[in-house]
């Protein structure tokens, strides 16, 4: 009996692994050649390993109650690869579930089903033109943005990382920049190859030529001399946060738009993608991607407010330390932040709760907030203590947020976990800016406390890239639509 069990188990696993390995090159070609991204219930399969693909399929059981087999989704992927469709994001998990478990397979052929489902992009041309992107600053966020753009390089890619602008220029600087991109203590090694071109002062990463420009001020830069034009400049320095300061980037030849990776001041639109990205106009030349915490809490707050109504609340952030703090006790202009970040929990202020209203005005004046910096290098948590306008319970609020993470317009912003064992390091590299910890949810009538994890570096960087995509006008539809 044991031998028979082992044989069946091995056979089942081997089948899944073989299908996953057959999927990998197709997923890669679809993106590189056609800018078609394949997902399974919102999980991208681009650059995924065979094990990642298997796990993505297994997760469907948590949401639908049935197992989605790779042999059910593979024919859909294979058929899509042979269709003349325009750039889009296709969820083969949802298509496979719909086709096999909603009895469609009994009434339609797969070809007919896909032709009908993909009609909006079938036999359509790619009308998007490539857009140059420049990273002004190359710190924690800058390097992650570089990784995100480099991993998507290909002839069909529309966002092209053309240059980074940094201070310095001393001997050995290029090698150090390359090394920091190549190795990261939190996010691990770079997935690919990076070489240094000292003669042309550039980095080569997975076939991408990235010019390194040394400058102390935007006025010193001429992008056009490097063949860069109409570029979106992503300012990661935080040196300028108002329109007057950021507009200095627009004086540089070859720059057309600016995105700040920090909260913007004054009349600058603070964009939390998924919440108010439709506010981006073609005429906008200066935008802000708000803060990591604002991106973490606003999608969840919006979802809850639309379903239950939020009368008031308090947001407490448990945030990893940042470069703004001292490693050991030393002078700092801010209160408490001068104390050793690696040894202390540090109470500090955050403007994220008030900043929510810039992206979602319905919560204006309803939230307070504070923060505690803790001795971890990455992944933070927001604790949302909310007074709701209607009563609910733990199961109801968790089910609603789970469905929002899968089937709503916030599916790229809200992730969901039902694990009772998950801890902060498990969330490193999470692409969604918010991960609802459903097991920690507390509800008492019209009062709710929710725990929301977020990778304050990587999840936020993914949000920044979504804003860049909209600024560049190269967004694509998701099929099936959420």
- Quote the tokens at residue 133: 């992107």
Q: Which residue has the tokens 């570029």?
A: 231
* Predicted local confidence at residue 6, as pLDDT: 59
The pLDDT of residue 240 is 95
> So what's the pLDDT on residue 128?
86
DSSP 251: G
Contacts of 199 by beta carbon, 8 Å cutoff, 6+ apart? none
Q: List the end-to-end C-alpha distance of the chain, in Å, as a whole number.
A: 46
For the chain, helix (H) and strand (E) counts, in that order, are 12, 21
β-bridge pairing 269-270 and 286-288 = parallel
Strands 202-205 and 208-214: antiparallel
Q: Is pTM, for the whole model, over 0.85? A: yes
At which residue do the structure tokens 């896909």 appear? 114
Over residues 211-230, the pLDDT tens digits come to 999 999 998 999 999 999 99
Is 268 within 8 Å of 262 (Cβ atoms)?
no
CA distance 125 to 138: 36
What is residue 65's three-state secondary structure? coil
Cα–Cα distance, 138 to 100 (Å, whole number):
47
Tokens of 391: 């009563």
Q: How far apart are CA 77 and CA 30, in angstroms?
A: 10
Is the Cβ–Cβ distance between 404 and 411 less than 8 Å? yes
Whole-number Å distance between alpha carbons of 203 and 209: 6
Q: Give the Cα separation of 23 and 20 in Å (integer).
A: 5
Contact 150, 161 (CB under 8 A): yes
Q: Is 188 helix (H, G, I), strand (E, B) or coil?
A: coil
How far apart CA 98 and CA 192 sit, in angstroms, is 36
Q: Are 281 and 310 in contact (CB under 8 A)?
A: no
Provide the H-helix boundaries in 308-455. 352-359, 394-407
Q: What is the pLDDT of residue 9?
A: 55
The partner residues of 387 in beta bridges, in order of sequence, read 312, 447
Residues 455-465: tens digit of each pLDDT = 999 999 999 99
Residue 274, preceding bond cis, omega within 30 degrees? no
DSSP, collapsed to helix, strand or coil, labels residue 402 as helix
What confidence score (pLDDT) does residue 424 get?
97
The percent of the chain in helix, strand and coil, each rounded to the nearest 5, is 40, 25, 40
Residue 234's φ and ψ, nearest 5 degrees, are -100, 110
* 381 closest CA partner among 292, 289, 310, 465: 292
Residue 104, token pair as written in the block: 């469609």
Nearest to 167 by CA among 224, 233, 212: 212
Count of CB atoms situated within 10 Å of the CB of 418 = 13
> Six-digit token pair at 122?
């079938």
* Nearest alpha carbon to residue 477 among 122, 174, 146, 180: 122
Report the distance separating Cα 84 and Cα 86, nearest Å: 7
Distance CA(77)–CA(168), nearest Å, equals 48
Question: Per residue in 333-349, is it b (16+ CB within 10 Å) or e — as a string?
Answer: eeeebbbebeebebebe
**What pLDDT sits at residue 165?**
97
Q: Please state the separation of Cα 127 from the chain's center in Å.
A: 24
Give the residue numbers annotated as catalytic, written as ranges: 292
What region, left, alpha or beta, does residue 45 occupy, with left being phi > 0 and alpha being psi -120 to 50 degrees?
alpha
Q: Let me know: does 359 contact 276? Beta carbons within 8 Å.
A: yes
Under DSSP, the state recorded for 191 is S
pLDDT in tens, the chain (482 residues): 566 655 555 668 889 999 999 999 999 999 999 999 999 999 999 999 999 999 999 999 988 888 899 999 999 999 999 999 999 999 999 999 999 998 887 889 999 999 999 999 999 888 888 999 999 999 999 999 999 999 888 778 899 999 999 998 788 899 999 999 999 999 999 988 999 999 999 999 998 899 999 999 998 999 999 999 999 999 999 899 999 999 999 999 999 999 999 999 999 999 999 999 999 999 999 999 999 999 999 999 999 999 999 999 999 999 999 988 999 999 999 899 999 999 999 999 888 888 999 999 999 999 999 999 999 999 999 999 999 999 999 999 999 999 999 999 999 999 999 999 999 999 999 999 999 999 999 999 999 999 999 999 999 999 999 999 999 999 999 999 88
CA distances to 9, 158, 207, 259, 469 from 462, rounded to whole Å, are 37, 16, 22, 14, 11
């Amino acid at each position: 009996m044991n031998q028979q069990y082992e044989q069946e188990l091995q056979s089942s696993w081997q089948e899944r692994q073989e299908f996953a390995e057959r999927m990998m090159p197709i997923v890669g070609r679809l993106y590189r050649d056609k800018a078609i991204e394949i997902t399974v219930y919102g999980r991208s399969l681009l650059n995924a390993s065979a094990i990642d693909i298997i796990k993505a399929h297994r997760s469907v059981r948590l949401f639908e109650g049935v197992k989605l087999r790779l042999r059910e989704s593979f024919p859909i992927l294979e058929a899509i690869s042979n269709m003349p469709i325009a750039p889009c994001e296709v969820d083969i998990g949802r298509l496979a579930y719909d086709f096999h478990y909603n009895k469609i397979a009994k009434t339609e052929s797969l070809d007919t089903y896909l032709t009908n489902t993909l009609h909006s992009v079938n036999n359509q041309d790619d009308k998007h033109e490539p857009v140059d992107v420049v990273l002004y600053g190359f710190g924690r966020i800058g390097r992650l943005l570089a990784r995100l753009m480099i991993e998507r390089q290909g002839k069909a890619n529309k966002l092209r990382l053309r240059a980074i602008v940094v201070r310095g220029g001393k001997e050995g600087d290029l090698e150090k920049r390359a090394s920091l991109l190549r190795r990261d203590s939190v996010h691990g090694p770079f997935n690919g190859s990076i070489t240094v071109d000292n003669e042309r002062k550039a980095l080569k990463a997975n076939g991408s030529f990235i010019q390194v420009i040394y400058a102390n001020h935007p006025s010193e830069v001429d992008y056009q001399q490097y063949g860069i034009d109409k570029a979106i400049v992503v300012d990661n320095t935080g040196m300028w946060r108002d329109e007057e300061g950021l507009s200095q980037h627009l004086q540089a030849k070859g720059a057309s738009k600016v995105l700040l990776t920090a909260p913007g001041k004054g009349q600058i639109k603070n964009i939390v993608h998924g919440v108010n990205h439709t506010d981006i106009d073609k005429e906008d030349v200066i935008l802000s991607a708000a803060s990591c915490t604002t991106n973490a809490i606003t999608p969840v707050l919006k979802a809850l407010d639309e379903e239950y109504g939020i009368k008031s609340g308090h947001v407490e952030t448990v945030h990893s330390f940042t470069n703004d703090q001292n490693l050991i006790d030393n002078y700092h202009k801010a209160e408490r932040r001068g104390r050793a970040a690696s040894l202390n929990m540090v109470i500090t202020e955050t403007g994220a709760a008030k900043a929510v209203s810039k992206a979602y005005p319905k919560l204006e004046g309803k939230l307070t907030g504070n923060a505690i910096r803790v001795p971890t290098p990455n992944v933070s948590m927001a604790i949302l203590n909310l007074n709701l306008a209607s009563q609910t319970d733990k199961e109801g609020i968790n089910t609603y947020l789970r469905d929002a993470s899968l089937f709503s317009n916030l599916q790229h912003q809200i992730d969901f976990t039902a694990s009772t064992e998950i801890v902060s390091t498990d969330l490193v590299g999470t692409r969604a800016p918010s991960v609802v910890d459903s097991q920690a949810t507390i509800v008492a009538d019209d009062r709710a406390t929710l725990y929301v994890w977020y990778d304050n570096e990587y999840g936020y960087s993914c949000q920044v890239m979504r804003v860049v995509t909209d600024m560049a006008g190269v967004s694509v539809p998701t099929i099936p639509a959420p």
